[in-house]
Amino acid sequence: MYPSLKRDSRFSELTNEHIQFFKSTLGDDAAVIDGVSKDATDDLEPFNRDWMKKYRGHTKLVLKPKSTEEVSKVLKYCNENKLAVVPQGGNSGLVGGSVPVFDEIVISLSRMNKIRNFDDISGILVVDGGVIMEIADNFLAEHNHLYPLDLGAKGSAQIGGNVATNAGGLRLLRYGSLHGNVLGIEAVLPDGTIFDDLSTLRKNNTGYDLKQLFIGGEGTIGIITGVSIHCAQRSKAINVAYFGLPSFEHVQRAYKEAKIQLGEILSAFELMDARSQAFVHEVTGNKRPLEGDHPFYCLIETSGSNTEHDSEKLEKFLEHVMGEEIVSDGVLAQDETQVRQLWGWREGITEAIGHFGGTYKYDLSIPIKELYSLVEETRDRLNSKGLVGDDDSYPAIAVVGYGHMGDGNLHLNVPVRKYTQEVEDAIEPWVYEWIQKRKGSISAEHGLGIAKKKYIGYQRSDTMLKLMRQTKDLYDPNGIMNPYKYI
């Protein structure tokens, strides 16, 4: 699977003695899947493969501790015995960060799934690391609050994993990043030390904010066992509008106007290019929301506490941008069904594109002004090399761009009839060089994992990498935590 990688010989091989220790420590049959003393390939399979079936490892052991103390005992033993480990939440990541590369032990947080506390005055939620995102959000909905993150994998993604990967998603524009919303973290360091910073305070200015290192640390310096997070009031009113626009210049003007006129109720501003919408139409057969063809489409969502006020603001905004010819055409969802239908034109893109074969996917941050230039330049590049076209003789089908416009986050997708070295070589590392020149990010929200590890030099200076590696060495001197990945 990874021809350039070799198993690190510093790490011990698993023995029956190790297994005995884990079984007696965790004391529950359900807590250990043991593929060392017997064949357990099928039971281990879901922990060895990611959901895209793109990455695979060869673990022989899965441990499911039930408490922070158990995590501590297990990690301390692994550290002393030089056993490499991979922390695993919902295993819904996109960069191969949560599956083993070789025979690392998987430590699954799935049995640490308690909601510890919720204060409905402050809106502060405290949970075990293994609580599933959607379960937390449903619980919060009953208390008129919302989990400040939303993403496609919410039905399986765990909160500890959200934090470890610094997941972004659909609500970032409105509710901000986890670096601001996470108030406290409890984690276990490789030597078994319990990092006890599960503060439930919005303001706390007492020393270095070390918990931030675990946010986006991708399980390389410790395992997150508890999270305290600030949750906002749930909005009563959700409105959605969908526009067609003549150019990316117009998209930028529309975004600027939306920020001014919709201000505090703006909760999403999504960009979709013509090609992405054609794919959704072709695959779903759904009637298009607007007549005619437009080079660009946007979806705007507002969330607020008063339906009438929000509708009035959105209607006024629509009138303005159509009157000024910033947008060519637009439609406003009239009910919840239409809200879901319009969102389908954005959320259905990934599936529609995947329908035809493979896809080269890039999750990039780019200064907004240049956001779409990359799609155009990639299209020109593949065109000039004769690699993209409508008939089956071309390896690539199209070059598609969409994403979270408000966050400067572009998803560049190149659907292909089959994966070929030619197409890959035409895009990489060129795309990373392009990003490097604009000081963008080679991974906006997916993280590094094993997929982006080799490209980190396009993003970070030698100084920053040196400092990051110092942090890794300080927290994990034996290098047992999620090896072969990250920086």
Closest separation in Å from C-beta 111 to a copy of itself:
25
Rounded to a whole number of angstroms, the minimum distance from the CB of residue 304 to a copy of itself is 5
Minimum CB separation of residue 255 from a copy of itself in Å reads: 6
Is 33 a binder of a copy of itself (CB under 8 A)?
no
In the complex with a copy of itself, which residue's Cβ is closer, 194 or 339? 194
The answer to the question of residue 12 lying near a copy of itself (CB under 8 A) is: no
Stretch that binds a copy of itself, among 12-20, 129-137, 168-176, 417-425 (CB under 8 A): 168-176
Neighbours of 27 (CB within 10 A): 11
Confirm or reject binding of residue 446 to a copy of itself (CB under 8 A): yes
Q: Decide if residue 482 touches a copy of itself (CB under 8 A).
A: no
* Phi-psi category of residue 105: left, alpha or beta, with phi > 0 → left and psi -120 to 50 → alpha: beta
75 contact partners, CB below 8 Å, separation of at least 6: 85, 107, 188, 189, 190, 191, 192, 223
DSSP 8-state class, residue 326:
S
307 binds a copy of itself, rule: CB under 8 A: no
Cα torsion 28, 30, 36, 42 to 10°: value is: 170
Residues 320 and 334: their CA atoms lie apart, in Å, by 19
Of the candidate spans 1-9, 29-37, 151-159, 406-414, the one that interacts with a copy of itself by CB under 8 A turns out to be: 406-414
Among 305, 340, 355, 386, binds a copy of itself (CB under 8 A): 305
The least distance separating a copy of itself from the CB of residue 453, rounded to whole angstroms, comes to: 10
Q: Within 227-368, where are the H helices?
A: 248-262, 274-284, 307-323, 336-347, 349-354
Interacting positions 206-225 with a copy of itself (CB under 8 A): 206-210, 212-213, 215-217, 221
Which residue of 34, 70, 104, 445 would you call a contact of a copy of itself, by CB under 8 A? 445
If one counts every other C-beta atom within 10 angstroms of the C-beta of residue 348, the result is 18
What single letter denotes the amino acid at residue 151? L
Choice from 28, 43, 45, 196 touching a copy of itself (CB under 8 A):
196
- Site for a copy of itself (CB under 8 A): which residue of 341, 356, 441, 479? 441
Q: Which residue, among 220, 255, 226, has the nearest Cα to 409 in the 3D structure?
A: 255
- Contact region for a copy of itself (CB under 8 A) — 26-34, 67-75, 188-196, 417-425? 188-196
**Residue 168 interacts with a copy of itself (CB under 8 A)?**
yes
Q: Is 193 in the site for a copy of itself (CB under 8 A)?
A: yes
421 or 463: CB nearest a copy of itself: 463
Q: Which of residues 247-276 bind a copy of itself (CB under 8 A)?
A: 252, 255-256, 259-265
Amino acid at the residue 271: L
Give exposure, 121-149, as e/b (b: 16+ Cβ within 10 Å): eebbbbbbbbbbbbbbbebbeeeebbbbb
Cβ proximity to a copy of itself: between 256 and 385 the closer is 256
Task: State how far the Cα of 330 lies from the Cα of 289, in Å rounded to an integer.
Answer: 9
Q: How many residues bind a copy of itself (CB under 8 A)?
A: 91
Q: Within 100-119, which residues bind a copy of itself (CB under 8 A)?
A: 119
Q: With contact defined as beta carbons under 8 Å apart, do 108 and 22 qualify?
A: no
Round to whole Å and give the CA distance between 430 and 421: 14
Binders of a copy of itself in range 354-393 (CB under 8 A)? 365, 367-369
Strand (E) or helix (H) holding 369:
none
